[in-house]
Chains A and B, each alone.
Chain A
Amino acid sequence: MMTANEIDDILRQYPEAGRDALIPILQDVQDIQGYLSKDAVVRIGECLKLPPSKIYGVATFYNQFRFQPQGRFHIQVCRGTACHVKGSAAVLDRLQRELGVASGETTRDGIFSLEVVACIGACGLAPVISVNGEFHAKLTPDSVVDVLNEYRQKAESSAHA
């Protein structure tokens, strides 16, 4: 998590900022922190004189923001047209049920986080997901569970190491 100072550093780049600076500030914070923490939102609110509920409302209006730290393995599910046609909805559905989290959330053990993204430009591989930047192609609801299990094993072996 970012310290209060790091957040203030970002805020300092927007002197006299008003409401219109909110989105860029949120983007900067998320770039560094990977998500928007409560502390960050409260601090930004104090600075811009905006209630946290308002900031949260604005931030949830855009799909790009998340409110939990990313997991060790960050899964991005492509929901572009090609993937959609090839059944990405079923893949996403399976992932959500398998992990017990929705897009934008992180599993309790902190291992996986899930995010739905617009086309990631790998249409030939549809339906595709990326895990920490690594692509997994032509998935089915069943094969995506195999992919998950691979990462679960990685997580476990490193935990024992």
Chain B
Amino acid sequence: MVKLTLNDRHIEAREGELLIDAMERAGVRVPTLCHMKDLFPSGACRMCVVEIDGRRGLVPSCACPVEEGMDVKTHSSRVVRARKTIIELLLANHPDDCLYCVRNGNCQLQDLAEELGVRERRFTGGRSHHDLDVSNPAIERDPDKCILCGKCVRICEEVQGVAAIDFVGRGSRAMVGTAFDQGLNLSSCVNCGQCIMVCPTGALRERSSLKDVMEAISDPDTFVVVQHAPSISVTLGEEFGLKPGTDVVGLMTTAMRRLGFDRVFDTAFSADLTIMEEASELVHRLSTGGKLPMMTSCSPGWVKFVEQFYPDMLENISTCKSPQQMLGAVIKSYFADREGLDPKKIFSVSAMPCTAKKFEATRPEMARHGLPDVDAVLTTRELARLIRMRGLDFNDLEPSNADTPFGERTSAGKIFGATGGVMEAAIRTAYHLITGEELQDLDVKAVRGMNGVKEAAVAVGDLEVGVAVANGVGNARKLLDEIREGRDDLHFIEVMTCPGGCIAGGGQPIGTDLDKVRERMNALYKIDSEDSIRVSHENPAIKRLYEEFLGEPLGHKSHELLHTHYTKRETVM
């Protein structure tokens, strides 16, 4: 234990701990712009500076280990003045765009200007200008709003292992950009949106599809359907002031109807469908000597990651489309037939926790006869914006249920939203397919939780199935490299692009607070523990879909509608 004085109070800290963490535990918060928990401090923004008795300059608390006897002042007038000057300097080179900005009301720069009482423009001078990058279907970059905190660069490289962006140039021309200043669409970016989640300003944001969706809704000749992903019912509430982990599925469904969607479907239904196909594919590969380990394909950032960095392993990826794309495909075929609708008149929207889903929906493989399976993807944030825009009093709505024929789900489909969920759901069904019986204990605890890589050996009949789960696509690198080098005890691998899985996807409410992510995760497993049907193969609506339309898993129709292929991407920038 180390003893120090913090604002004239005596506190204790752990040996070697960073000052900022000790301060936080003692209930003293200083503003930060570049600090990222668990990553090496960069000390770039200097917002977190404090005064330490005996040291000449102000010291960044995020990069300073505690020392015995330190006497620290966090809000002396000298410190506060320094912080204010930093913000004023940042604002001098910042567009006054708040009224037009997607982060208006949810921007750390704006908050700090307010908190520190910035009321006049003290510094003026030429502002640098860089073009907006709208080349990418998922992510938009507006370097003029960038304050060069470097968080996006670090999460992209250190957490996601992608490194699509970096600091370019220097001095007054420095910016964050791609190699050769190409559009993000030509870079190695996997569209995960984790950079958006950490960006303190509006410099990074999703490409919005709100306009397309609103136009489709107001066109009387267009039949507009929406599907909602398993994770967003436990995150959307946060946008309306509810506690993290509150399940608002009923309210959300009603809100969607009020917004004017003609049908509301649950992507957790098609997650069950994915499990039917994917578990069957696994069993097929296991019994016929197919390519192993099989790897999941539902997270589009991960799929692009493999196409770019591990093209030699494309055969390992399951041919199953993701739940979003599977549902899109059956909406424009089975559902259209059943309702007597012209598929061309259907506008299919999905509400997703994810920016990469926007990219996935534009992939040429994800269309049939020139008609895309999914026409527009909204992030959780965009959905919340739409609800506010239409003046709905979210918390006062009367809950309702999703529509037939794609409204019934099992809780196996629901847990897709958390890392390990796909694996757990697949094990439950694969066990049934192989042994003809149900797994005794449906909880597969070994694959749950927030660890970056989780592994287990699962006994299925006489078979021992080696499984691994990685979340945060950078964590998958280790596994893939081991497999390249000959590791062969694994049969099935789940990878989610975002750390924590879809509940922390790049389209979710801004921020990376791990406590919130845990609450969301707990909410999903609570739903699972209380549900009456917990295995995908018992979903009555799925059974009906196979009886009436698809035939059997991996059958002819399935291959046509629900499976796809991948291609190597050349020259990764």
How big is chain A's contact interface, by range? Answer: 10 to 19
Complex: chain B residue closest to A62, CB-CB? B170
Q: Give the contacting residue for B166; candidates A38, A42, A54; CB below 8 A.
A: A54
Q: Give the contacting residue for A54; candidates B163, B180, B187; CB below 8 A.
A: B163
B460 at the interface (CB under 8 A from A): no
Query: Closest Cβ of chain A: how far from B191's Cβ, in Å?
Result: 15
CA distance A56 to B573 in the complex (A): 10
Q: Are B169 and A52 in contact (CB under 8 A)?
A: no
Residues on B with C-beta less than 8 A from A52 are: 179-180, 188, 572-573
Complex: chain B residue closest to A102, CB-CB? B173
Interface residues of A in 45-102 (CB under 8 A from B): 51-57, 60-61, 67
Residues on A with C-beta less than 8 A from B164 are: 51, 53
Residues on A with C-beta less than 8 A from B573 are: 38, 42, 52-53
Residues on A with C-beta less than 8 A from B162 are: 51
Complex: chain B residue closest to A51, CB-CB? B163
A126 at the interface (CB under 8 A from B): no
Residues on A with C-beta less than 8 A from B166 are: 51, 53-54, 56-57
Q: Are A56 and B170 in contact (CB under 8 A)?
A: no
Q: Give the contacting residue for B187; candidates A41, A53, A61, A67; CB below 8 A.
A: A53
B165 at the interface (CB under 8 A from A): yes
Q: Give the contacting residue for A57; candidates B168, B187, B188, B572; CB below 8 A.
A: B168
Query: Closest Cβ of chain B: how far from A102's Cβ, in Å?
Result: 10
Complex: chain B residue closest to A56, CB-CB? B179
Number of interface residues of B (CB under 8 A): 19
Most buried by A among B165, B178, B187, B573: B573
Per DSSP, are chain A's interface residues mostly helix, strand or loop, or mixed? Answer: helix
Residues on A with C-beta less than 8 A from B177 are: 53
B571 at the interface (CB under 8 A from A): yes
Query: Closest Cβ of chain B: how far from A82's Cβ, in Å?
Result: 23
Most buried by B among A53, A56, A61: A53
Q: Are B167 and A57 in contact (CB under 8 A)?
A: yes
B365 at the interface (CB under 8 A from A): no
B157 at the interface (CB under 8 A from A): yes
Query: Closest Cβ of chain A: how far from B148's Cβ, in Å?
Result: 12
Binary interface profile of A, 20-53, with partner B (CB < 8 Å = 1, else 0)? 0000000000000000001101100000000111
Q: Are A67 and B571 in contact (CB under 8 A)?
A: no
Residues on A with C-beta less than 8 A from B179 are: 38, 41, 51-53, 55-56
Query: Closest Cβ of chain B: how far from A148's Cβ, in Å?
Result: 25
Query: Closest Cβ of chain B: how far from A132's Cβ, in Å?
Result: 26
Residues on A with C-beta less than 8 A from B188 are: 51-53
CA distance A4 to B140 in the complex (A): 34
Beyond A38-B180, A38-B573, A42-B571, whether A51 also contacts B157 by CB under 8 A is yes
Q: Give the contacting residue for A60; candidates B157, B168, B571, B572; CB below 8 A.
A: B168
Interface residues of B in 557-573 (CB under 8 A from A): 571-573
Interface residues of B in 370-416 (CB under 8 A from A): none
Q: Are B163 and A60 in contact (CB under 8 A)?
A: no
Binary interface profile of B, 533-570, with partner A (CB < 8 Å = 1, else 0)? 00000000000000000000000000000000000000
Beyond A38-B571, A38-B573, A42-B572, whether A53 also contacts B163 by CB under 8 A is yes
CA distance A61 to B177 in the complex (A): 13
Query: Closest Cβ of chain B: how far from A92's Cβ, in Å?
Result: 15
CA distance A41 to B164 in the complex (A): 14
Query: Closest Cβ of chain A: how far from B15's Cβ, in Å?
Result: 32
Complex: chain A residue closest to B167, CB-CB? A57
CA distance A86 to B142 in the complex (A): 38
Query: Closest Cβ of chain B: how far from A52's Cβ, in Å?
Result: 4
Q: Are B571 and A56 in contact (CB under 8 A)?
A: no
Complex: chain A residue closest to B178, CB-CB? A53
CA distance A61 to B164 in the complex (A): 17
**Can you show 24 pairs from A to B with CB atoms below 8 A apart?**
A38-B179, A38-B573, A41-B179, A42-B571, A42-B573, A51-B164, A51-B179, A51-B188, A52-B179, A52-B188, A52-B573, A53-B164, A53-B165, A53-B178, A53-B187, A53-B188, A54-B166, A55-B179, A56-B166, A56-B168, A56-B179, A57-B167, A60-B169, A67-B180
A41-B180, A52-B188, A60-B169 are known contacts; what are 17 more A-B pairs with Cβ within 8 Å? A38-B179, A41-B179, A51-B162, A51-B188, A52-B180, A52-B573, A53-B164, A53-B177, A53-B178, A53-B188, A53-B573, A54-B157, A56-B168, A56-B179, A57-B167, A57-B168, A61-B167
Closest 7 CB pairs of A and B: A51-B163, A57-B166, A52-B179, A56-B179, A53-B166, A53-B179, A60-B169
Binding site for B on A (CB under 8 A): 38-39, 41-42, 51-57, 60-61, 67
